[in-house]
Structure 1
Amino acid sequence: KGKENHLRMDAQQRAAQGVVTARAEKRRLTDAVSAPGEVVVNAYRSAQVTPRISAQIVERHAIMGNLVKKGQSLVTLSGVEMADAQGQLMVADREWQRVKKLGRKVVSERRYVEAQVARQQAYAKVLAYGMTVDQITALLQHDDVSKATGRFTLISPQDGLVRSDDFVMGEIVKPGHTLYEIVDESRLWVEAKVSAATAHRISLGNTALVSPDGSQWLQAKVIQFHHRLDETTRTLGVRLDVENPGDDLHPGEFVNVSIQTDSAQAVLAVPKEAIVLMQGSPTVFKLVGTELQPQPVETGVARGNYIEIKAGLNEDAEIAVKGAFLLKSLALKSQIGDHD
């Protein structure tokens, strides 16, 4: 017996001993950068609801914290400008319906076109002021000028959560005043702060992990970089997109972030557990036929669970990636003449 007997193993024997082999291959070694981050609203999945004219709040249909659907009524307002515009539309619509019924053979071309244009302009005006197509249709169906009260209802432009409702009943609000903020929190952004030196190792599309408490981690992805350095912290902002189906994250919350970085190029690398120290040298066990032979190697950088092999091993060589410590003990026993 001897070294050959101890390290010669067929596939069945290797499996029984827990020895797993795999081919050494080139890979891009990635590392993780830890950084602080803040959860913010995904601006591409949020909307503000604002009046386009000065008007008074007369009825509230949704409150902060409500989940709303696209097209759902949020708030009813009333304004003098809208009342005038509604009245003008009803008059213009009535005239247009009359002229259209008479037809081009009875009325002059000029009068026909003027009535048509007047109606279109009046319609566009109430639409621009904040009425929806359905609300305008309902108004004109009544054909009752007394319905031109100036009331109109703002609707939600998207599905989402009512994050804020900044108004009180009876308040007269000006154009552009944000009445509601509607956000879709199923997908949020995280603004992470990394050093300028680290930022160049991060690329668009890199994966990341986000955690509010250090125990539960959510998958994220790098989607944007801020191109201005923060003058106070000397850090660069990296924006992550994170799915939040369980409502675990909330805007304004501070989180821990771990971002995968790039390596400059692919290098020959093996799992860390494939390497053992023998006589002071990093060593792997190379499979040749049914024999596992100790092979000294020169190692380079370590990233995650992998370590670079700079010399001593060729690409595609079959090595033990699990069970290397067992093989080391067998090799040492053979060297000191221990034959079981």
Structure 2
Amino acid sequence: MDSIQNRITAFIKLGAFLSQFSQEKFDKIEGIEHNDLFFDGFKHQIKIAQEKNSWFTKENIVFALGSWSRALTKNNLEEWVSKNKLQIESPKTVAIVMAGNIPVVGFHDFLSVLISGHSVLVKQSSNDKHLLPFLAKYLEYIDEYFKGKITFTEQKIENFDAVIATGSDNTARYFEYYFKDKPNIIRKSRNSVAVITGKETEEDLQKLSDDVFTYFGLGCRSVSKIYVPKEYDFNNFFNGMFVKKDIINNAKYANNYDYNKAVYLMSLFDLLENGFLMIKEDESYSSPIATIFYEYYDNEIDLKIKLHQDKEKIQCIVAKNFIENEVGFGQTQNPNLWDYADGVNTLEFLSKI
């Protein structure tokens, strides 16, 4: 007999399985269901994911899996589900078009659809297609209810009742046209910003380095822009970032750093840099890899108004006692299950289709 409690239990077990892969060294834990079948196989998938996409370092994959293993607990899942009325009378098929910028980036949508009681039709990004199908297979072994509920496709998606699609601003326009006749959530590009007041401690700014550098800054929750008061001393910022200096040892990151630096220098832009990170004054939100944009502000009220006006472009605002709904320094990559992308409650959407 299927029930939401059974589905929660299955994801708790998946979280326990993932906890084995949340440290640099993968260790089998006693008592994890179906470990003999799945442990070595998942280890292999992690290796393939690294080989296929050089942004997916072992460290970044482990970080993502660790975040999910911590999120998929009984308390978290029950608290999340209890915030929504999930009495689905007639289950539907929900298509998910996933991005591929960070490892298992579409997992929250996948989880939301299945926990709601719907079936899921997944179209993955070619950049991130090795981890999730394996985890889906594990779920089917944990609870046979999921058999037939999960489909992956590389073709054009067809025969679905609603869709959740994530892409760039360009692909979002295409999605909006293509999916206009179906209930949908269409996510566009967003970036995260940090507000610096000058009162931050060294520890605050070291924590901010996690928001800047985790996943090489490729996530929509990664800070790509900072706002600083006039006359701000950027040495404080760079001192905080210094704990991540070893990132330049990643060849792909270093290539991007060198390339972007050359472009900026040829264009005669004013730059500040420290050997692994450049900062450039720019009004845009989306900065290239190895670059943070900055903008000065005169007064806090004007800045709050601007951030409010641009809320469609911003995923997180990192700050300390500055604005409502801010995210603390170092916390952007540890969202709760109810911290929805773009502020759109996925479970509420799924309960109404």
TM-score range, shorter chain: under 0.3
TM-score, normalising length: structure 1? 0.18
Task: Return the structure number with greater helix share.
Answer: 2
TM-score, normalising length: structure 2? 0.17
Q: Which of 1 and 2 has higher RCO (CA within 8 Å, sep 6+)? A: 1
Task: Return the structure number with greater strand share.
Answer: 1
